[in-house]
Amino acid sequence: MTFVVTENCIKCKYTDCVEVCPVDCFHEGPNFLVIDPEECIDCAVCEPECPAEAIFAEDDIPAGQEDYLEINADLSLTWPVITVRKDPPGDADEWNGKSGKLDMLER
């Protein structure tokens, strides 16, 4: 099993989760983070660190967001690994909790 970053991370991109990951499975895109399912060891330490509550166990992905499992797998192949926390975008708090952000995902 793996953990998955879902829609609420789009345009929020808080990176609190990356520093606690023991296997460096997070990858960074322009406005979203993903988890490499091949690297994730299912330790769950990242989930409580996400201020946007956008990380879920594969079996607990919210209804309607199942496509994020494939999105994480695909984008982790090309995006660089991130291991150090960065400041979130200046408007991250404004985007936190908004739905319908998939069209805003910058690949």
Residue 67, in any domain of the structure: yes
Which CATH number fits the domain that encloses residue 45? 3.30.70.20
pLDDT digits (tens, 9 = 90+) for 86-95: 999 999 999 9
Tens-place pLDDT, residues 11-43:
999 999 999 999 999 999 999 999 999 999 999
The answer as to whether 76 is a domain residue is yes
Residue 75, domain member (yes or no): yes
What confidence tier does 70 reach under pLDDT thresholds 50, 70, 90?
A: very high
Residue 44 has a pLDDT of 98
Q: DSSP string covering 41-88, please?
A: ----SSGGG-TT--EEEGGGPPTT-THHHHHHHHHHTTSPB--S--PP
Average pLDDT, the chain: 98
The structural domain count of the chain equals 1
Q: Report pTM.
A: 0.97
Residue 22 lies in a domain: yes
